[in-house]
Chain A
Amino acid sequence: DADVTQTPRNRITKTGKRIMLECSQTKGHDRMYWYRQDPGLGLRLIYYSFDVKDINKGEISDGYSVSRQAQAKFSLSLESAIPNQTALYFCATSVGLARQETQYFGPGTRLLVL
């Protein structure tokens, strides 16, 4: 079984729709992250959470919101989707080992906004 899962894996939506991407993990990690990846732009951090009561904005949080429902669940919402949010979205976790911090990624959600 995968340690970090994302649902849905693929999603097509229309401009203006609200959508939610979900992430669950069985690794027992406290830290969870949402990234988007666009061709040529690498991974960019949207939001991150170090525990259930801790939510922080990343470098590109505008247009997104998140919810940390439990240690194992971290959801990303697009309140009103727009075409330039078309991208590959990754959830990741880490254990919090300071300088040895390694990130573990989910399989990704491919989002297309028409």
Chain B
Amino acid sequence: NAGVTQTPKFQVLKTGQSMTLQCAQDMNHEYMSWYRQDPGMGLRLIHYSVGAGITDQGEVPNGYNVSRSTTEDFPLRLLSAAPSQTSVYFCASAPLGGAYEQYFGPGTRLTVT
């Protein structure tokens, strides 16, 4: 099993550009989530999904969209990138829900200039 995979590993955007961060898992987990990690900070929850077709907002959802058309994929879209969105983004999945052990991807380092 590859576990949780994320692409790209690195990305540089200009202010106002849009892009999609990809996340996929091959463990048949119902729950998937996106977090951002800023320097000296812990992770903060952006959006999460408890199954295909179901998404919900986390702590810091503004400026981001998600969709969940399949169990495997959970892309994160930046609609109009801003310098404040410079961060490292982690995707995670869990078999039973957000309360359980989460499996993290390797992260995408995004810089917005």
- Indicate whether A and B interact: no
Q: Which A residues fall within an 8 A CB radius of B?
A: none
Residues of chain B touching chain A, judged by Cβ–Cβ distance below 8 Å, are none
